[in-house]
Amino acid sequence: MARWQDKPFAIEVKAGDTKAFCACGLSKNGPYCDGSHVTTDKTPYVVKFDEVKTVYACGCQESTNRPYCDGSHAK
């Protein structure tokens, strides 16, 4: 899997937002799912948010806590 970037994506979300984050690593629109997983057995991480906050989505594809950053990009 290629890295989308070498740092997390800071994403502002609000109550009621639903985001589909790529789990297969093939999306051309990382960190979001673009449907490329159809050739794999993966499905996106679909997360519904219930408050306003900033989330940090994995950009390097090496996090063990995906779809969120765990600091692996810095290792």
Contact residues toward ligand FES (CB under 6 A) are: 22-24, 26-27, 33-37, 42, 44
Closest by CA to 55, choosing from 44, 66, 39, is 66
Assess contact for 34 and 28: CB atoms under 8 A.
yes
Judged by beta carbon, residue 1 or residue 15, the one nearer ligand FES is 1
Give the whole-angstrom CA distance, residue 61 versus residue 75: 13
The C-alpha atoms of residue 45 and residue 21 are separated, in whole angstroms, by 5
Of 15 and 18, which has the nearer Cβ to ligand FES? 18
CB of 68 to ligand FES, least distance (A): 15
Q: How far is the CB of 58 from ligand FES (least distance, A)?
A: 12
Specify the residue, 26 or 60, whose C-beta has the smaller distance to ligand FES: 26
